[in-house]
Structure 1
Amino acid sequence: MLYLIPTPIGNLKDITLRALEVLKEVDVILAEDTRNTAHLLNHYQISRPLTPYHQHNEHKITAYLVDQLLAGRRMALVTDAGTPGISDPAFLLVRACVKAGVNVESLPGATAFVPALVNSGLPANRFCFEGFLPLKKGRHSLLEALKTETRTMIFYESPLRLVKTLNDLAAYFGADRECSVSRELTKLYEETRRGTLTEVATYFSQKTVKGEIVIVVKGTEG
C-alpha cells in the first residue's frame, strides 16, 4: 500500500489524526526533504525510517519503490507542505503503482490553493488550477490561451517573481482584472491582498515579500 499524506502548509496543528496514525504505522516514509519531514515527525514524536523522494531522484528510484511495495512494504509519501502531487512529486510513483496493481490511498488534508480560493472573494463554483507558470518557454502561449478563460484561475508563485507575474497577468488580462494574493497561509504573518492586478502589483512592489504565494484571478466575463 502507498499512502499519500498531506502535511501542514505552515501551522503544524493542521494535520489530521488519521495522517498521524498512518505515519506511525508504515514501514518507511518517502519525503521530499527529510530534514523538513523530520521536524514534523519529531514534533509528534513519530520515529519511522525516512527515504528521500524528490524531483531529482524520482526517475531513478520509482521502479525500486514499486518492487518494494509489491513485496509487501507499506509506504507513506509526503512533501514539504501540502498534498503530494499538487505542484510537488508524486505523479510518477502513483502512475507506476497504478500500472503495477499496487494499492494507492490518498488522505484528505492541507493544500494551499483551497483556502486561498475560498478566501479570495472571487467565484469558487468553477475554477482551474494552473500551478507555477512557465518561466520562459510556453509562458506567452499559456497566458494568451488563458485570456479567454471564464473560470477563476489559481497560480502558485515564488516571492521573488510575484510582482513580475502580476504585471504579466495585467498585460494579458487587463490592468483592472480582479485578483487576490495570499501568502504565509496558516502562519503568524498570513496576509491576503485583494484588488485589481495593477493595485496588488503596486502594493507588493513596495515591500519585501516572503513566504509561499497563491494568486487567484477572476475569469473573463466575455
Structure 2
Amino acid sequence: MAEESFVGDLPVKRPREDEENGAFNATEAMETETNSSEYISSVIPGWFSEISPMWPGEAHSLKVEKILFQGKSDYQNVMVFQSSTYGKVLVLDGVIQLTERDECAYQEMITHLPLCSIVNPKKVLVIGGGDGGVLREVARHSSVEQIDICEIDKMVVDVSKEFFPEVAVGYEDPRVTLHVGDGVAFLKAVTEGTYDAVIVDSSDPIGPAQELFREALF
C-alpha cells in the first residue's frame, strides 16, 4: 500500500440520504452546486451543464441519473454523479474533472508522453491528480522506483478512492507516497534535480489551482 503524509486531515462530508428511497434529490443538489460557484451557471432538472468563462459560447451538458456525493472541502465543492452516457462523473467547483468513459485518454497522454521521452525515469512527482489516474499510468513504467504525489485536497483523494476505484488504483502501488499539501510549496522544499519528471495534473487555473499556472513554478 502507498504511504501517506498529511499536512492536516480535511473533513469529508457524506451525502444526506433521502428517507424514502436513499437517493439524493438531483435537482436540489445541482442547484446548490450552481449557486456556490460562479463558473457554472446553468442547471435544468435532470441535467448538469458546465458553463465556464474560459470557454465563451460553449456549454457541456450531461443527463444525470443520480447524485452520488456532494461535499465542500476547505478548498472547493466536490460532487460525483452518475450520468446516463459517461458513467460516474467527478466535478470540482462546477467543472467536470473526469468521467469513467473517457478518463483514460487524458491520463495516458499526460503521463506517457513525458515519461517515454526520458531514458529510464526513476523518480516521478505528480502535483495535483488527486483522482489517482496519473499514478496508475506512471506505475506502468517498470523503471520508476519512487512516485510522490502532492495533492492539496484530501477530499478529492477520498472521494476518488470510493467512487472511482479503477482510476484510484494507483494509490495501491507500494512505490507511491501521498503528500497532502500545497504543490508549489512542496516543490520549493525539495532539492533541484530530485525528480526525473514532474507531472502537473491540475484543474483549470481557477481557485486552488491558480498557483500551478504561474511562471514562478517553472
When normalised by structure 1's length, the TM-score is 0.28
When normalised by structure 2's length, the TM-score is 0.29
**Which of structures 1 and 2 has the bigger CA Rg?**
1
Higher helix fraction: Structure 1 or Structure 2? 1
Higher strand fraction: Structure 1 or Structure 2? 2
